[in-house]
Each structure stands twice: as C-alpha cells, then as structure tokens.
Amino acid sequence: MTVASTVRSSFAPTRNEVQNRKTDVLVIGGGPAGCWAALTALEAGASVMLIEKGYVGTSGATAAGNTTMIYSARGTAERGMSVDQRVRLGAGLADGGFVERVLDEARFNLDRLADWGYDFPSFEDGRPYRGMLRGADYLRFMRQRLIKGGAVVCDHMPADHLLVADGVVSGAAGYERRGGARWQVVAGATIIATGGCAYMSGALGTNNLTGDGYLLGAEAGAVLSGMEFSAQYGIAPAFSSVTKGIIYFWATFSDSDGAVIDTSGDRHAVAKYLLRGPVYAVLDKVEPRLQEGFRRGQPNIFVPFDRMGIDPFTQRFPVTLRHEGTVRGTGGLLIDNQAATSVPGLFAAGDASSRELMSGAVSGGGGPNASYAIATGRWAGAAAVAFARRNGVPSRVRPAAEVADLTPAEHTIEELRPLINTVQDRMLPLDRGFFRDAQSLQESEAVLGQMWRETGWRKLGRMREVEAMLATARWATAGSLARKESRGVHRRTDFPLTDPLSARSLQIQGLDHIRVGGAEEPVERRLAG
C-alpha cells in the first residue's frame, strides 16, 4: 500500500511556496536510527519521507567519526558477556531480554549491510570485521540506498511542530532553511529520530543535537523517561571536541605540578580533580602495537594531537570533561517494545528515545547505542507501517501545539548567545551537572522555569533549538530532583547511596507544568494501537 504513488528523491520548494505532501510514513531525523526506520518502512511497501534539519549523511554524532558495534551471535560466550555487562552496568534498570533482542537485530542488519556491498574492514587474516562502522561512509551508504529505493529525502528542512487528527499524530510541519518556504507533510504514522541533546557543549558531532524531537513529542503529549540519567560527560583533550574515552584506560593522570593522581580513567575521579585545578594525561601505558591499532581504528582521536604537534603517548596534555547529555546518556521519549510512544501514531528511535532497558542508568557509549539505533529504527519503521495501514492518512489535521509565528527568524548563534549561556550555565558545569544536590537543582529549576515563562517561546528558526534545549534542561532537572539517590550517571552528593527500592523509571510529562511519576505516582502511559 502506498498513498503517494509518485515520489521523488528530492524535495526543493520554491521561496514562499507552501508544500503540502502526503505519505504513509514520515521520519524526522536522518541519523542511523532514522535511516533504518525509513528503509524498513520502504521495504514494507510504504511511501516514505525523511526530513532532516541538516544533511542526511553528515549530520549528527555518528557522522563525525567511527562507531563501534556489538556483533555477536545469540548463545555464544561473547554474546553472554555483552548482555551480562549491560545488565551489570545498568544499575538495576537494564533488561537482559531486551538487550538480546537489540543485539539480534543489530547482527542481522550488519550482515545485510555486508550483503548490500558496504565495505567493512577486515582482520589481518582477511576475515571481515563487523564490529566497526565508519560514520560518514555508513550514513552516505544508507542515504544512497534510501534514494534508490524511492524515499523522499529532504535536507535542511527543520520540523517545528507535529500535526494531529483526533488525538493521533499525523505528520509534521516546518520550513525550508535555504528558502524560507513552509512545508507540511500529512502522514499515516510519524517517527521521531532526531537524536539527543548535548546543549551545544562542543562535544564532537553534537552541536546540532538540541533535543528538538523531545519538544515535538512533549507538545503532542508524549511521556519522557530517564531524563535524570543525562549527566554523561566524556573525557577529551582540553583543546579538542573528541570525547572518545577508551584510550584513557591506558593513561597516567597528573596535576599541574606533575604529581601523579589516581583516577584509573574514571570520569568521577577526573571530575573531582578538575574542580580543584587542571588535570593532565599521557597515554604512556599503550604498547607500540596497540598505538598503531588505535590510530587505524579511531583516526579522528589523533587529528587534534597531530595539529598541536603533541605525541600523546609520550607528552602530557591537558584534559577536560565535555557534557554529552542524552546523546550518550540515557533519557528520551518513552517507548514500548515496538518503539511506540505514549501518543498514538508517534514512534521514536535511537537517541530520541529512552535507552533505560538497554543501558540502564549509565551511558551506552558507542557499541550499545549504535546497536540500539539500528534495532529501534527497524522496530519503529515496521510498527509505523502497520499503524498507517490500520488507520490510513487523515484528510484534516491541526498543529499539535500553537506556534507563535510561522515566519522563521534565523537568528545567529551570537544573537541567541545570552539565552544559550543561561541554559549551559545550569547544565554544563561539573558542580551542577556532573555532581548534583538539592540546592543547585532547585536553583536551576527556578532559573530555567523563569526563563521558560518570560521568554515567549514557540517561535521558529534557531530560537526553536534553544527552546528545545531549555525544555530538555527543565525535564532533566525535574527528574534529578525527584530521584533522591545516586544511580549510574545521576550523582547526588546529598544522597550518595543507591536505594535498592528505587530501581525503576521516572516518567516525565508536560511543558509549562512538569509532572514526574514513577517513584511515587506513575504517569499514565497510553500505548499506540
């Protein structure tokens, strides 16, 4: 079944022309999860449009570098170790059965990538190695397959609000960034795959990940979960945005005087020392053979060092912690086991959804998150097609939330800097974001709440991204206040212990008035049909 019988592989509206389209499945976001969702819907025979505010193939965290994968067969020792690790590290919130489903889906589709002709690297003996994907190549490959399959791929077209019909999410509307024209797509089902939010912290590949999908979903009434587990920070050279932390397990850390400090590569220890003063590292525990392996496997790690003329294996360099938020943290839109949100017709995948069942209260890092993106993208695509076939494409829709002004105001980042600074000031500092207590959280809640009430939101352009960051910060703060314990990346200095009775999710809903449930009063969850 297809609604749009004539689909094109490009979508370029003329200036001031309102574009009205219909499609079976609309995917918002063009990273790995969005591409897999769109491809799955295509394979099921649906007409598909994929909308991306950047460029599908270069936008997002995966495109900025290589990503590890978990590639293992069910029943093997390797698979058992991967599942056990996720459950053990998940602090009581990860589910082993769910992790198995994710890894089954990831393995199956990595094999399909190879069958389609994706050029995986090989071991030295020539055997294919499917535990690594080169981000830019991977997404370019997916883009080409989508276009050849008949999907309408739309670049530089931010979605600024969802459309609804009788309580069912039925598409989205937005504007064309290069010409300013409005567009509207009415769909039988809609998938949010817009990634997470890192508050423009400067972490590699995260600058355009501002929580847009969370805001779109929340305006339609969707529930979020795990937002308190967003205090994920990555170790990086102070002069670099690269937060790939695996190399620091082979590092020696020291203070400004050169005195060795014991951190064992642990972010918690590094954060404590950074609050006192500069911290330095040298990768002096890496054997020569492994040095070459690091350079070949993760070359973008070493580009900043080469530019600075630093040999990180023999010379000390300053390090910092960069906030990665929900991009490598956990929180997002709450989904069921078919990637449906709490609002009918709306699905979510990848970093846009909560990863608690996969990663629990900690970061999924590279491999778990990348595997989760494939799996949830596939599930969302299949479930969206089934929903669209049952319900059809509506003839009349309305905005899910009132938009103050349909004329996008393309403010520059510098014009918006005071607003961005306010959000960052409450979320990024180590003594507010990494370590939390009631006083700092209540202060943040007051500042961010006042900013929400007084700024006059629901405007378009870059202002919309700031609004999404602010909303995400308010949800993360509300969840952090409600969880009166320390668990995973949620670190309360006033509640330093983990409460065994609190090993359950906190669900968050609302915009002007934020409601938190799960620990005391559960938020009603309506699963899409």
Residues 271-322: tens digit of each pLDDT: 999 999 999 999 999 888 888 878 877 777 888 999 999 999 999 999 999 9
Residues 163-197: tens digit of each pLDDT: 999 999 999 999 888 878 889 999 999 999 999 99
Residue 520 burial by Cβ neighbours in a 10 Å radius (0-12, 13-18, 19+) = exposed
- 8-12, 217-221, 241-245, 310-314, range with the lowest pLDDT: 8-12
Give the C-alpha separation, 92 to 495, whole Å: 17
What pLDDT is attached to residue 24? 97
Residues 88-120: tens digit of each pLDDT: 999 999 999 999 999 999 999 999 999 999 988
Q: How many residues does the chain have?
A: 529
DSSP 453-502: HHH-----THHHHHHHHHHHHHHHHHHHHH--S-BTTB-BTTS-S--GGG
474: tokens are 């308010």
Which one is predicted more confidently, 248 or 461? 248
The residue written with tokens 């909308």 in the block is: 51
Residues 315-348: tens digit of each pLDDT: 999 999 999 999 999 999 999 999 999 999 999 9
Give the C-alpha separation, 244 to 365, whole Å: 9
What pLDDT is attached to residue 88? 93
The amino acid sitting at 29 is: G
Task: Report the predicted TM-score, pTM, of the whole model to 2 decimal places.
Answer: 0.91
What pLDDT is attached to residue 458? 61
pLDDT at 521 over 60: no
Give the C-alpha separation, 373 to 369, whole Å: 6
Percent helix, strand, coil in the chain, to 5, is: 40, 20, 45
The CATH number of the domain covering residues in 19-228+326-399: 3.50.50.60
The CATH number of the domain covering residues in 405-510: 1.20.58.100
* Residue 41 near residue 384, CB atoms below 8 Å: yes
pLDDT at 352 over 90: yes
Instruction: Map 318-374 to HEC letters.
Output: EEEEEECHHHHCCCEECCCCCCECCCCCEEECHHHECCHHHHCCCCCCCHHHHHHHH
**Angle, helices 32-43/135-149, rounded to nearest 10 degrees:** 30
What are the residue boundaries of the structural domains of the chain, listed by start? 19-228+326-399, 240-323, 405-510
What mean pLDDT do residues 444-469 have?
84
What pLDDT is attached to residue 60? 84
Most confidently modeled range among 17-31, 53-67, 207-221: 207-221
DSSP state for residue 128 in the 8-state scheme:
B
The CATH number of domain 240-323 is 3.40.50: no
Q: Do domains 19-228+326-399 and 240-323 have the same CATH topology?
A: no
Give percent above pLDDT 90 in the chain: 69
What pLDDT is attached to residue 41? 98
What mean pLDDT do residues 124-153 have?
90
What pLDDT is attached to residue 113? 95
What pLDDT is attached to residue 279? 94
What pLDDT is attached to residue 4? 39
* CB burial readout 308-338, b (16+ within 10 A) else e: eebebbeebbebbbbbbbbbbbbbbbbbeeb
Q: Which DSSP helix (H) or strand (E) runs through 160?
A: strand 159-165
pLDDT grade, residue 522 (50/70/90)?
very low
- 58-62, 418-422, 488-492, range with the lowest pLDDT: 58-62
Give the C-alpha separation, 255 to 276, whole Å: 9
What pLDDT is attached to residue 295? 82
